[in-house]
Amino acid sequence: MIRNASAIRNVRLDALRGIAVLLVMLHHAAPETVPGSGVVGVMLFFALSGHLITGLLLAEIDATGRIRFAEFYRRRAVRLLPALLLAAAGIAAVTLTLDPLHDRNVLGRTLAVTLTYTTDLPFAHGSAAIFHLWTLAVEQQFYLLWPPALLWAWRRGRATALVIGSIVLLAVAGAAITLHLGAAFDHAYTWPTSWSTGLLCGAAARLYAHHGKPGGPLARRIAGCRAAAPWALLLLLAAGLVPWRSSALTYPAGALALAALSTLLVAGWAATTAPTGRALDNLARLGAISYAAYLWNYPLTLWLRAWNPTTGPLLAALFTLLVAVASRHLVEQPATRRWNKPSAPRIRAAGAVPLTRGGRHRLRHRLPMGSTGSPSDDAGGGEPDADADRSCERMVGMGRTGGVVCEVGRHVARAQVSGGGGSEHSLAAQCERQTGDDDTRVHRAHETG
Q: Give the pLDDT confidence score for residue 15 in this predicted structure.
A: 93
Q: Which residues pair with 366 in a beta bridge?
A: 441
Q: Give the pLDDT confidence score for residue 17 in this predicted structure.
A: 96
Residue 5 pLDDT grade (very low, low, confident, very high; cuts 50, 70, 90):
low
% pLDDT > 90, the chain:
62
Closest residue by Cα to residue 188 from 254, 94, 257: 254
Q: Count how many residues are written for the chain.
A: 449
Distance of alpha carbon 255 from alpha carbon 261, whole angstroms: 10
Distance of alpha carbon 176 from alpha carbon 382, whole angstroms: 29
In terms of pLDDT, which residue wins out, 123 or 188? 188
Q: Give the pLDDT confidence score for residue 208 in this predicted structure.
A: 87
The contacts of residue 434 (CB under 8 Å, 6+ apart) are 394, 395, 396, 397, 415, 417
- Give tens-digit pLDDT for 369-422: 333 344 555 433 433 333 444 444 444 443 333 344 444 333 333 333 333 333
Q: Give the pLDDT confidence score for residue 226 in this predicted structure.
A: 79
Distance of alpha carbon 13 from alpha carbon 297, whole angstroms: 21
> Residue 359: is its pLDDT beyond 50?
no
Burial of 90 (0-12, 13-18, 19+ CB in 10 A): middle
* Residue 218 identity: L
- Give tens-digit pLDDT for 54-68: 999 999 999 999 999
Annotate 139-155 with b (16+ C-beta within 10 A) or e (fewer): bbbbbeebbeebbebbe
- Give tens-digit pLDDT for 167-217: 999 999 999 999 999 999 999 999 999 999 999 999 999 998 887 554 455
Residue 125 pLDDT grade (very low, low, confident, very high; cuts 50, 70, 90):
confident
Annotate 408-446 with b (16+ C-beta within 10 A) or e (fewer): bbbbbbbbebeeeebebeebbbbbbebbebbbbbbebbe
Closest residue by Cα to residue 309 from 34, 29, 26, 23: 29
Closest residue by Cα to residue 413 from 358, 367, 345, 351: 367
% pLDDT > 70, the chain:
70
Contact 296, 324 (CB under 8 A): yes
Mean pLDDT of the chain: 79
The mean pLDDT of 37-59, rounded to a whole number, is 96
How many other CB atoms are found less than 10 A from the CB of residue 68? 14
Q: Give the pLDDT confidence score for residue 278 in this predicted structure.
A: 87
The contacts of residue 187 (CB under 8 Å, 6+ apart) are 122, 181
Distance of alpha carbon 301 from alpha carbon 308, whole angstroms: 10
The contacts of residue 413 (CB under 8 Å, 6+ apart) are 4, 5, 6, 7, 392, 393, 395, 396, 405, 406
